[in-house]
Amino acid sequence: MKKYFLSIIFMGVLSVSQAQVADSVKRHVVLQGASNFRDLGGYTTADGHHVKWGQIYRSADMSKLTDADLAVLKERKITYDVDLRGTQESAQAPDRINPGTDYILSPAGSDNMDWIKTITKLKGNQGDSVMNMYYGNTRFLAERYKIFFDKLLKLPNDNSLVFHCTAGKDRTGIGAALLLYSLGVPYDTIVDDYLASNYYRRADNVKMVNQMVKYAHIDEEVAKNMAGVKKEFLDTTFKAITSQYGSVDNFLKTQIGLDDQKIGLLKKKFLE
């Protein structure tokens, strides 16, 4: 049981985010078997365009979708699924998806969780340092998210795509941030979308923190600090990318392969 909860440490969020999404009724896709499932549409870019509604979705674990949930995905034409979990995570809880869905696993960096063993020794705010270490690791970013962007570029105009990890907040949060950045969405808005996981997973993660404390014997303050998302975590990723590659734009171009033509195609496909 202890090993189980350590392996899903990233599943948690703790409290309601300050970044409330004004259009959450439209953005949030309420499902019985998945949380943090939401539309990335509606965000305004720096040049006045808007991300199209109903084409790109982000989510947490999708292994427990009900038949009714699958009907919702079918109605929304979600026929592409990019799974950012590791091979062990995905094998233990395979996605439940509609027949014919284009599914791909992008596990880079998600199978090496040895550092989690140190969490039980942490106290108080030390959880933040571990999260910052995770968010500052650029080693697997290109390999993990190139698959994601490649699928977006190939997505038929009348189809939709969902991408997810286990909690839909860390790996998915970084992926959403890079996508919105590539579309020209201002960083403040990107942060708001990222922090919204604290709102959409608030109920699930009160339970999760309690379980981490009870079964994995993690310090309660550490569990709370690690369960949520904070602006400084995403800042750490963007700063690390800029430090290593000169800019986020250069990272997207040289590591993800998004040259001017592909950036233009992304904007044509997903902006209005």
**Torsion of the alpha carbons at 216, 60, 185 and 105, rounded to the nearest 10:** 100
Q: CB of 40 within 8 A of CB of 176?
A: yes
Q: Is the pLDDT of residue 264 over 90?
A: yes
- How many residues are listed for the chain in this entry? 272
- Provide the pLDDT for residue 179: 98
Strand partners, 162: 57, 81
pTM score above 0.85: yes
Percentage of residues of the chain with pLDDT beyond 90:
70
Per-residue confidence (pLDDT) for residue 191, from 0 to 100: 95
Using DSSP bridges, classify how beta strands 78-83 and 160-164 pair: parallel, antiparallel or unpaired.
parallel
The reported pLDDT for the residue numbered 15 is 36
The pLDDT > 70 percentage for the chain reads 90
Taking alpha carbons only, the member of 80, 82, 92, 97 closest to residue 34 is 97
Pick the residue with more confidence: 169 or 224?
169
The pLDDT score that the predictor gives to residue 114 is 59
